[in-house]
Structure 1
Amino acid sequence: MTKFEIYKWDKWNMVHAEVKGKKITVRVISDQWGEDCHTFLSRPQLMNWVEQYYAADRFQGTEEERETIISRFREV
């Protein structure tokens, strides 16, 4: 299993990705919603979710932060 830290602002707000063979699991942990887990069977499926989840009109950070997060997902 390979683990990737996408971002971590503090111990309550972070995103991690884990790769086990073909399966990619993304854990989104926030202080407002708790832990949300998403499982993908391919990288294209993951990147489609990333583009929707981190859409420019919904993201509450700078464009630079958004691009950094998306580029880290591309490394998975």
Structure 2
Amino acid sequence: MSSKKSLEIMLTEKHITIREASSKEDSLIAKYSYQMWLDIGVDKSNIHLEWQNITLQFIEEARRDLFYKAFIAEVDNTVG
């Protein structure tokens, strides 16, 4: 008697929403901006220690003066 091995793959649907970020999420945008620089190979030593405050100030000024908009992706109502 032979035994059959099977591989079961469960496919699940994900609900993805792209929406404009609110100013309450600026810290999250700054964090992901910092991580992006690290991901592309910029060494931490080349990033200003005040990166978060600098980025938050940039976002605030850009939103006010340059019509800046950031966007958030949510997967199944969860960000990040």
Which has the bigger relative contact order, CA under 8 A and spacing at least 6? 2
Q: TM-score, normalised by structure 2?
A: 0.30
Q: Hey, which of these two has a bigger chunk of helix by percent? A: 2
Larger radius of gyration: 2
